[in-house]
Amino acid sequence: MVRQMQTTAQGIPLEIYCFTTTTVWADYERIQGDIFDYLLAVLPEFGLSLYQQPSGGDLRSGILPAVLGASHIPEAEKHLM
């Protein structure tokens, strides 16, 4: 089942419900991965694109080092990059 959520400034969020007949965790994870691989592969066929808002980790590992230079990142935060 697919449900369209309320439209936001970033687009139309989709909620995807999937069910399996297996309770074996590894099989479930493989099936879930296959579903998302397929969904991501067909997005361009419908003129759609995926959007994910940047998080604090994205900003620390991407924008901050580019602006400040890697030498200005505290040693304790370098593992986050």
When pLDDT is averaged across residues 5-19 and rounded to a whole number, the result is 90
Beta-sheet strands, E only, within 1-81: 2-4, 14-16
The confidence band for 81, taking pLDDT boundaries of 50, 70 and 90, is low
Q: β-strands 14-16, 2-4: how paired?
A: antiparallel
Q: How far is CA 41 from CA 11, 20, 38, 52, in A?
A: 19, 21, 5, 16
pLDDT at 53: 76
| Predicted confidence (pLDDT) per residue in 21-55, tens digit | 999 999 999 999 999 999 999 999 999 888 777 76
Predicted local confidence at residue 54, as pLDDT: 72
SS3 4: strand
Q: pTM here?
A: 0.56
The pLDDT value given to residue 51: 79
